[in-house]
Amino acid sequence: MTDLRTHLHGLWLPLVTPFRDGKLDETSLRRLTRHYSAHAVDGFILGATSGEGMTLRDAELERLVAIVRDEMAAGRRNVPVCLGLSGADTSRLRDRLDETADWPIDGYLIASPYYVRPSQRGLLAHFEALADHAAWPLALYNIPYRTSVNITNQTMLRLAEHQNIVGLKDCGASREQSIALLRDRPKEFRVLTGEDANYLEALTDGADGGIVLSAHVETATFAAVYAETKRGNHDAARARWHEVAELTRLLFTEPSPAPAKYWLWRSGLIDSPEVRLPMVEVSSELAATIDREIERRMKVAA
């Protein structure tokens, strides 16, 4: 295991979970892990939104983590792994922290409680209770357009003082709020954007990296955008960004991760584009659009 606080930067991939015939597709999962471990990916998020974690049984989630770790060990390149957890019951989440405490992970990505819309005092108490209890460090996930509650900067800065809360996946949908947090945060508190379309913008504003679903495609280019930005080569970063900016729109044309799974299936990285209800596979219209884009990019690469 690694020290998450020192590794929570760069390009992180919220890995999709491949299914086939209703089951976890272990063959495709191993192929995905080998493929992305060989690329410039700085960490994996497993079982979160992009990984359809809310549809995974406990045994499937545990198997998912074990396979990814096994394949990374075989390839001799271990990157940090965070387990995505979510829920609106603090007590139940504490139980999940206990149940996963001996799993081979480096930390957790924990979203705000959804639907119940707690107050800021409630959010503070919720996350502090989890951080006090967790065996591994926590990165928080602020995504108010899914949870219906925003973690304000005042609350976030108090949480950032907790020794077991090391960072944030920022999907707050407010650039003003994000810039203020980057300005005021403690020195070692990491902020990664989770908004694919704003990846370059967030890096330019000072974010430490991104958790980017679109980086399942053209991974090296997304990594280069980060590297060029951190070197201060903003023109070069912008040029590389233009190569992939359209992907961040195309892969969210319909509910994610169905478009990304379709792309990965058509590219041969997974054996099925299957998703679990209430998600459905992409429409025939979007499938045709993705097919054309894959063909176009193959011609450019050739």
| Contact (Cβ atoms closer than 8 angstroms) between residue 170 and residue 178 | yes
Q: How many domains does the chain have?
A: 1
The closest alpha carbon to 199, from 176, 229, 177, belongs to 229
User: Does 297 reside within a domain?
Assistant: no
145 is an active site residue: no
299 is an active site residue: no
User: Does 167 reside within a domain?
Assistant: yes
Helix (H, G, I), strand (E, B) or coil at 142: strand
Q: At residue 259, does pLDDT exceed 80?
A: yes
Q: What is the largest CA-CA distance in the chain?
A: 56
In this prediction, residue 2 has a pLDDT band, given cuts at 50, 70 and 90, of low
Reported as a single tens digit per residue, the pLDDT across 176-202 is: 999 999 999 999 999 999 999 999 999
> What is the per-residue pLDDT for 194?
98
User: Does 267 reside within a domain?
Assistant: no
Strand partners, 84: 109
Considering the candidates 36, 114, 115, 169, report the single residue annotated as catalytic: 169
Structure tokens at 238: 């912008």
In this prediction, residue 301 has a pLDDT band, given cuts at 50, 70 and 90, of confident
User: Does 128 reside within a domain?
Assistant: yes
User: Does 271 reside within a domain?
Assistant: no
User: Does 291 reside within a domain?
Assistant: no
Q: At residue 156, does pLDDT exceed 60?
A: yes
CA–CA distance from 91 to each of 136, 170, 236 (Å)? 17, 25, 48
Q: What is the mean pLDDT of the chain?
A: 96
User: Which stretches does DSSP call E strand in the chain?
Assistant: 10-14, 19-20, 23-24, 43-46, 81-85, 107-111, 138-142, 165-170, 190-193, 209-211
Helix (H, G, I), strand (E, B) or coil at 64: helix
> What is the per-residue pLDDT for 46?
98
Range of 124's domain? 4-241
Angle between helices 26-37 and 58-75 (to 10 degrees): 40
Instruction: Please state whether beta strands 23-24 and 43-46 pair in parallel, antiparallel, or not at all (unpaired).
Output: unpaired
* 218, burial (CB in 10 Å: exposed 0-12, middle 13-18, buried 19+): middle
**pTM exceeds 0.85, yes or no:** yes
In this prediction, residue 162 has a pLDDT band, given cuts at 50, 70 and 90, of very high
> What is the per-residue pLDDT for 1?
56
Considering the candidates 36, 108, 141, 226, report the single residue annotated as catalytic: 141
| Contact (Cβ atoms closer than 8 angstroms) between residue 205 and residue 179 | yes
State what percent of residues in the chain have pLDDT above 90. Answer: 95
User: Does 268 reside within a domain?
Assistant: no
| Contact (Cβ atoms closer than 8 angstroms) between residue 192 and residue 9 | yes
Give the separation between CA 82 and CA 137, rounded to whole angstroms.
Answer: 9
Q: At residue 139, does pLDDT exceed 80?
A: yes
Q: At residue 149, does pLDDT exceed 80?
A: yes
Q: What is the mean pLDDT of residues 213-238?
A: 98
In this prediction, residue 213 has a pLDDT band, given cuts at 50, 70 and 90, of very high
Q: Which residues of 242-252 are buried (b: 16+ CB within 10 A; e: fewer)?
A: eebbebbebbb
> What is the per-residue pLDDT for 225?
98
Output the domain CATH number for residue 236.
3.20.20.70
User: Does 278 reside within a domain?
Assistant: no
On whether 143 is known to bind a ligand per the annotation, the reply is no
| Contact (Cβ atoms closer than 8 angstroms) between residue 282 and residue 258 | yes
On whether 270 is known to bind a ligand per the annotation, the reply is no
